[in-house]
Amino acid sequence: MALARVRSLSIPLLVLVLVAACGLTQSTTSSSVGAGLGSFASPSAPPSVSFPLTLTDDAGRSVTLAAPPHRIVSLAPSNTEIVCALGACGALTGVTDFDDYPASVKKVAHVVVQAKVDAEKVVAAQPDLVLAAGNGLTSEAAIKQLTDLRLRVMTLYPKDLAGVYHDINLVGAALGVPGKAQSTVASMQARVKAVTDAVAAAAHPRTFYEVSVFEGTIYTAGKDSFLSSLITLAGGDPVAGDAQSGAIQLEDLIAADPELILLGDASYDPTLATHDKAVAAVRARSGWGQISAVRAGKVVPFTDDVVTTRPGPRIVDGLEALARAIHPELFGS
């Protein structure tokens, strides 16, 4: 699990910019939804779509749907959560063995086991639409195999909050419920603004988020990563690792001298699950005792890692959890 989490969290991401390739494109054989589904913002004029419909996914591939899909396979937990947030949980016929929210998806057939896509199981699920994950989280080989089998595959890879909003709108268009997607995004944006307004005048402590310590290597939010941008929005000054891997050398961590350490791996490691255990464990690490956060006992078990690092509708829950951890004086512990 640690390797999968390190891989998923350290991918370099753009900060709060909507990637142009994520827009929708018009097809001469389908209706046009417009470039940028987030523009459906007029309450007096609810958005609408008509089919057949051609959409462009986050990998720049066109996907044409003759009708809203009634059977959906999701190859990533974040995709599953988007589908369910849009009221289509009942349409899911295949998910991953890591899917756990909402609870009902645990009963759906597993077509991805230990991060490996089982094409036979995907086919057996008879999907009208397959939602893959980009940047190698669903392998290109698996995506090609599924498309060669004439399945409609849409790849989602939100690179920032704007990308999450876009993908919710994209899936909303595919499902024929753009109004529901729009209202979901609007609610998320309002909650994000509440957080950023609250921390705007606060000091931003140097904040180190521990993703994992694996075989002696320390992993954190990569430079310009999604996680790093969330820490900034939550009122912290992120101590970032390598842009590609998220790894940080101990000497660089000591030099950065974080004022606050958030242990994201406490979500999975019971030895870090309480404040006293976390402080003792970190102080026992070679070299860590000289870091300001450790000296001051500002080491926080952060047990909301899943919602903070899963780029779906609950990402705002993660942002709010980060803000509470960084600024308990503003939000309460």
Give the range among 42-46, 68-72, 212-216 with minimum mean pLDDT. 42-46
In the predicted structure, residue 38 carries a pLDDT above the cut 60: no
In the predicted structure, residue 110 carries a pLDDT above the cut 50: yes
The burial of 287, by beta-carbon neighbours within 10 Å (0-12 exposed, 13-18 middle, 19 or more buried), is given as exposed
Residue 270: band (very low, low, confident or very high) from pLDDT cuts 50, 70, 90? very high
Predicted TM-score (pTM) of the model is 0.85
Residue % of the chain over a pLDDT of 90: 82
**Residue 320, pLDDT score:** 98
Residue 145's identity, in one-letter code, is Q
Q: In what order do the strands lie in the sheet with 116-117?
A: 116-117, 110-113, 92-96, 72-74, 129-133, 153-156
Q: What three-state secondary structure class fits 89? A: helix
In the predicted structure, residue 15 carries a pLDDT above the cut 80: no
Q: What is the mean pLDDT of residues 116-140?
A: 96
Which residues contact residue 181 at a Cβ distance below 8 angstroms, ignoring those fewer than 6 apart? 37, 86, 168, 169, 171, 172, 173
**Token pair for 17:** 């910019």
How far is 210 from 220, CA to CA, in rounded Å? 5
Instruction: Give one DSSP letter per residue of 58-75, joined into a string.
Output: TTS-EEEESS--SSEEES
Q: What three-state secondary structure class fits 301? A: strand
End-to-end Cα spacing for the chain:
28
Regarding beta strands 206-210 and 260-263, do their DSSP bridges make them parallel or antiparallel, or are they unpaired?
parallel
**Choice between 7 and 284, residue whose per-residue pLDDT is larger:** 284
In the predicted structure, residue 6 carries a pLDDT above the cut 60: no
Please state, rounded to an integer, the average pLDDT across all residues of the chain. 87
Regarding beta strands 260-263 and 217-219, do their DSSP bridges make them parallel or antiparallel, or are they unpaired?
unpaired
Nearest to 175 by CA among 40, 82, 56: 82
Could you read off the pLDDT of 180-213 as tens digits, one per residue? 999 999 999 999 999 999 999 999 999 999 999 9
For each of the domains in the chain, give its residue range(s) and CATH number, in order of start. Answer: 15-191 (3.40.50.1980), 202-331 (3.40.50.1980)
In the predicted structure, residue 72 carries a pLDDT above the cut 90: yes
How far is 156 from 289, CA to CA, in rounded Å? 41
In the predicted structure, residue 257 carries a pLDDT above the cut 90: yes
**Residue 135, pLDDT score:** 84
Nearest to 252 by CA among 288, 285, 215: 288
**b/e string for 300-328 if b means 16 or more Cβ within 10 A?**
bbbebbbbbbbbbbbbbbbbbbbbbbbbe
Residue 46: band (very low, low, confident or very high) from pLDDT cuts 50, 70, 90? low
Nearest to 326 by CA among 297, 291, 298: 298
Q: What is the mean pLDDT of residues 28-43?
A: 35
**Residue 88, pLDDT score:** 98
